[in-house]
Amino acid sequence: MATENRTESGAGSAGVFPSDGVTLARFDRPTGTGTTLMVVSDPHLSATAHGTLKMYHRAKQRFQMAVADAHRLDVDAFVVAGDLTKAGTDRERALARDLLGIAPRPTVTVPGNHDVTPAGETGFDSGEEFATWQGASSYPQSHPLDSLVVRAFDTTAPAARSGRVGSETLQTLDGERIAAPQIAVMHHPLAAVPRPFRSELAAVDYRVENPASTADVLADSGIELVLTGHLHWPYATEYRGLNVVGAPGCASFPPAYLLVHVSPAGTTVSLVPLAGANGVAEAYEYALDDDLRGSLIQQVVRDGYFGEFPLVDQQTMAPADTPALHSTGTPQ
């Protein structure tokens, strides 16, 4: 299939996904001086795989587009919320390392369940100028950015069915205080995904273990916003005093990334497409074939899910300095 032009109007057969981006949420906190993060999640990079809801054959291209947009927008940090690779193989890690090498600095990454080898170890090295994962011992990480701090957590738990923030990490955080506002990044969701997905995924272990107690420790340590991946679906909610956002997969429907802009008025989270009409339509058609989520995705699209944004709006007005939503880079 020919590479599509991202400046096309419309969204193919998925007609309601805005081609110029949309505001996912406006939170009243954290606040800051005008810091912007780009959040990319679940690319599942592979040199040879094709198809499925994860859109393996588009993953490298979409990730490159996100990197190009990050440079063009001059973001303050490039964040990857896990599952950078399809299966954590040496070849996939090499591809991921090459792509991360051209991403803006600082780059903050956390591992996902697909980045863990069968032996239960993550295998990336930590570069001098950007942080990738080495294993659980290298987390949590703190990344100061202007007036806020990004906290990175490893939630991979190879011996468990779901994710986990380790007890040692929680003990370290318990009672810990950092003066600056904090944003947490982890792969596995903390809060339950909103309806209608919640009922369908009720029997699937997609959240971290002990989410309530984990959330309470995070909130008590001063974290105000939690960014997660894993589900390949954009959503925003509030959970036990925390603002929570789920990032989309960068290649699966809807192929997009998040811009998280922290200003004096609060934090605005925007959903920015990584494909034009043809690319969105292709991702939608592949999503419909997914046995678990295909019918639900079709339902929420028909019900106008993207027209309901922002899903959370705690601000009295949108910040005046919020970056433009639309993405105009040229596909690689």
- What's the CATH code of the domain at 297? 3.60.21.10
Q: Which domain holds residue 185?
A: 25-313
Q: Return the residue matching tokens 């987390």.
A: 139
Cα–Cα distance, 122 to 115 (Å, whole number): 6
Cis status of the peptide bond prior to 331, with omega within 30 of 0: no
Question: Is 11 within the bounds of a domain?
Answer: no
Question: Is 320 within the bounds of a domain?
Answer: no
Whether the pLDDT of residue 318 is over 70: the answer is no
Which band of pLDDT confidence, cut at 50, 70 and 90, is reported for residue 162? confident
Evaluate whether 66 touches 248 at the Cβ level (below 8 Å).
no
Mean pLDDT of 28-44: 96
Question: Is 117 within the bounds of a domain?
Answer: yes
Question: Is 225 within the bounds of a domain?
Answer: yes
Whether the pLDDT of residue 177 is over 90: the answer is no
Determine the longest span between alpha carbons in the chain, in angstroms: 54
Whether the pLDDT of residue 178 is over 50: the answer is yes
Give me the amino acid identity at 305. Y
More confident residue, 140 or 126: 140
Contacts of 282 (CB under 8 A, 6+ apart): 1, 12, 55, 58, 275
Q: Which pLDDT tens digit goes with each residue over 227-261? A: 999 999 999 999 999 999 999 999 999 999 999 99
More confident residue, 116 or 284: 284
Q: What is the pLDDT of residue 321?
A: 62
Mean pLDDT of 75-102: 91
Question: Is 20 within the bounds of a domain?
Answer: no
Could you report how far apart the first and last alpha carbons of the chain are, in Å?
14
Question: Is 73 within the bounds of a domain?
Answer: yes
Q: Which two tokens stand for residue 122?
A: 């993550």
Q: Tell me the average pLDDT of the chain.
A: 84
Question: Is 329 within the bounds of a domain?
Answer: no
What are the start-end ranges of the E strands in 65-140? 77-80, 107-109
Question: Is 271 within the bounds of a domain?
Answer: yes
More confident residue, 161 or 297: 297
Cα–Cα distance, 282 to 302 (Å, whole number): 17
Number of domains within the chain: 1
Q: What is the pLDDT of residue 93?
A: 86
Q: Which two tokens stand for residue 201?
A: 């995924």
SS3 257: strand
Rounded (to 5) percent helix, strand, coil in the chain:
25, 20, 55
